[in-house]
Structure 1
Amino acid sequence: MSRRPLHGVFIASHAIAEGAITRKQLRSLGYRRLVQGVYADPGIGLDHRLRATGVALLLPAGTAIGGHSAAAWHGAPFAGLHDPVTVLRPAEVRWAGPRGVRVHRTVLAPADVDVVEGVPVTSPLRTAWDVAALEPLGTAVAALDAMVRRGPVTTAALMSRLEGAAGEWGVTRVRRAFGLVDPRAESAPESRVRVALVLAGLRPVPQFHVLDGGEFLAKVDLAWPEAKLVVEYEGAHHFEAEKIIEDDRRYAVLVAAGWRVIRLSAPDLRDLDSVVRRVRDALDA
């Protein structure tokens, strides 16, 4: 057969029963299984949002995609491809979900749920609360930074939500995460590094504009202007040939102006305690 008979995301048993696809085609044409019983056309890019879209096909009424999974619809970075898809359910709905789904029982009002592109996801403010309550602090703040930066929620709305929230589930974790939000952060790794440094008492200035004699030299991820120290996180694109040359020139200009540069990459995120020590030593020096 020269073309795939079915596109998009679908429940296999339904598609087979309707004659849209056969079991043989499901196996032979390379359809991706997102979770048990749900498949996607292999031509669609596979990420956490696609997996959450697949899970949404299985959801009983009254439930919704929530937490870090819903944050992808509200301007935050996607959760990892293999991270569990978060689903919220009220107490009266009994549903455990397939493997790869994390179900959280909670109070879920109709006003807490939006339908986006056919998928029931928690509203931006409700998503922000659940991300802060359910996720590790660095992960939560990274998602919240992005949501505030891109506009679905504001810092004022987060603080207002905390008013009168004493005694609510997760409020201690939420208050801590909301207090660390800074929409100046431009990437999730930058947010995670900043949180680790702030918790260690080393509070940097995000997205600092370095000037020398009134002349603009560079915008850097994190800076301690008095110490003339900067921390730069370099994502994968920084290791492309042209970007390497551009970065080297940029850092040479900073060093010539008396600034010190600590360069970080993905492996450093696995040991943020070491990053904190490097920064502290540089500041002490």
Structure 2
Amino acid sequence: MSTSLDTRHLAEVFRGSEARKAGLITKGQLRGNGVRRLFQDVYAPAHVTVTHELRCRGAALLVPKEAVLTGRSAATVRGVELAKPYDPVEFVVPEQFRFGPIVGINVRRTEVAENESRPWQNARIARPARIALDLLLRLSPRKRGWVSRLRIGVPDLDAFLRSGLVRRKVLKQLFFGRRNRGIRLARNALQLADPRAESLPESVVRVVMVVDGLDPIPQYEVRKNGKLLGRLDLALKKSKVAVEYDGRWHNTPEQRAHDEERRRRITAEGWTFVIVTAEQLATDFAGVLATIRAAIERG
């Protein structure tokens, strides 16, 4: 007969085998609804909210102590939320180590200098410059073309640069001093990166436009007689075309009214708006570019 589980003596994340050995939980309770399984042999009490950071701490109980949390996972732990709660936890390990596979944990074997990380939990966490590097090296060339990888990598890099955790100058020195597989893509991404971008989708739209030969200015301020009329997500200044991403949060009545009033003021000054929706961004890059090009021609 199963007994109720007292979770007061359990950590927020714990190895099931170790908790059983210590007499804190039974095999039957590990299968019950008092805990939730994060990874093989790693659990959290059911009342604990699962975040990506929690899962990173859980994964750190399984990996070798030399493993380095990096990429989107390390960025999220550092306050730049690039990973969702159940996204794979990202580690790199020195090339001489073999580890995994474990469902829910992605591990790359690559060169890792000791000064590129510091101790964290039961493993290590990458320092900011290494996090930025792995945001790009994590993108496998075998799975995607280079344009697709830039659409994924540049927005992450934009957000990480915007956080102020690392400077572009530091990354330039790092990227141009290495020979890792994928480093050429990383260098291209760094040239495209712009911390002025205020959202990941906005960055994606900008990358698509730049690859197509356009030169949008992020967060461009439109003024009249010194008075600010509004800011544009992306501006093609010469042709007076404004390209803006409307995510689902723009669908509230208050936000729609705010957007319409701002756009009315700016349209009166000769600007044309191209609005990109979440659905278009997910499925129709060619259509988005065609609409922008048509607006430029009309301008």
Q: TM-score, normalised by structure 1?
A: 0.89
Residue aligned with 1:28, SS: coil
- Once residues 116 and 61 of structure 1 are traced to their aligned partners in structure 2, the CA distance between those partners, rounded to angstroms, is 9
CA contact (8 A) 2:156 2:200 kept: yes
- Matching residue of 2:129: 125
- Report the more deviating stretch, 114-123 or 49-58: 114-123
CA contact (8 A) 1:86 1:101 kept: yes
Residue aligned with 1:227, SS: coil
Residue aligned with 1:209, SS: strand
1:276 positional shift: 2.0
Residue among 113, 121, 130 paired with 1:109: 113
- Once residues 43 and 242 of structure 1 are traced to their aligned partners in structure 2, the CA distance between those partners, rounded to angstroms, is 35
Residue among 159, 167, 171 paired with 1:146: 159
Residue among 274, 277, 281 paired with 2:294: 281
Residue among 50, 54, 61 paired with 1:50: 54
Alignment of 1:21 with 2:2, yes or no, is: no
Residue among 60, 73, 89 paired with 1:85: 89
- Report the more deviating stretch, 76-85 or 61-70: 76-85
CA contact (8 A) 1:193 1:269 kept: yes
- For residues 233-279 of structure 1, give each alpha carbon's deviation from its aligned partner in whole angstroms, at most 9, with x where no partner exists: 22333223322222222222222333222222322221333222221
Structure 2 stretches lacking a partner, 5+ long:
140-148
- Once residues 124 and 91 of structure 1 are traced to their aligned partners in structure 2, the CA distance between those partners, rounded to angstroms, is 21
Using a 3 Å threshold, how does the CA distance of structure 1 residues 14 and 117 change in structure 2: closer, same or farther? closer
Amino acid at match of 1:259: W
- Once residues 168 and 2 of structure 1 are traced to their aligned partners in structure 2, the CA distance between those partners, rounded to angstroms, is 49
1:104 positional shift: 0.6
Question: Matches of residues 130-279 of structure 1 in structure 2 within 5 Å?
Answer: 130-135=134-139, 136-165=149-178, 167-271=179-283, 272-279=285-292
Q: Kindly, what percent of the aligned residue pairs are identical?
A: 36
Residue aligned with 1:191, SS: helix
- For residues 60-116 of structure 1, give each alpha carbon's deviation from its aligned partner in whole angstroms, at most 9, with x where no partner exists: 121111222222234433224443222111122221241122211111222111235
- For residues 217-237 of structure 1, give each alpha carbon's deviation from its aligned partner in whole angstroms, at most 9, with x where no partner exists: 111211112222212222333
Using a 3 Å threshold, how does the CA distance of structure 1 residues 259 and 10 change in structure 2: closer, same or farther? same
- For residues 21-78 of structure 1, give each alpha carbon's deviation from its aligned partner in whole angstroms, at most 9, with x where no partner exists: 3344334335332222212234443343332222111111211112222222344332
Residue among 73, 76, 89 paired with 2:77: 73
Using a 3 Å threshold, how does the CA distance of structure 1 residues 25 and 266 change in structure 2: closer, same or farther? farther
Using a 3 Å threshold, how does the CA distance of structure 1 residues 268 and 4 change in structure 2: closer, same or farther? farther
- Once residues 143 and 212 of structure 1 are traced to their aligned partners in structure 2, the CA distance between those partners, rounded to angstroms, is 34
1:7 positional shift: 4.9
Using a 3 Å threshold, how does the CA distance of structure 1 residues 112 and 225 change in structure 2: closer, same or farther? same
Residue aligned with 2:38, SS: strand
Structure 1 stretches lacking a partner, 5+ long:
none
- Once residues 273 and 54 of structure 1 are traced to their aligned partners in structure 2, the CA distance between those partners, rounded to angstroms, is 42
Residue aligned with 2:195, SS: coil
- Matching residue of 2:38: 34
- Once residues 128 and 191 of structure 2 are traced to their aligned partners in structure 1, the CA distance between those partners, rounded to angstroms, is 17
1:127 positional shift: 1.4
1:9 positional shift: 1.5
Using a 3 Å threshold, how does the CA distance of structure 1 residues 10 and 141 change in structure 2: closer, same or farther? same
Using a 3 Å threshold, how does the CA distance of structure 1 residues 118 and 96 change in structure 2: closer, same or farther? closer
Residue among 60, 66, 71 paired with 1:62: 66
- Once residues 82 and 278 of structure 1 are traced to their aligned partners in structure 2, the CA distance between those partners, rounded to angstroms, is 36
1:3 positional shift: 6.2
- Once residues 30 and 139 of structure 1 are traced to their aligned partners in structure 2, the CA distance between those partners, rounded to angstroms, is 38
Alignment of 1:10 with 2:14, yes or no, is: yes
CA contact (8 A) 1:132 1:178 kept: no
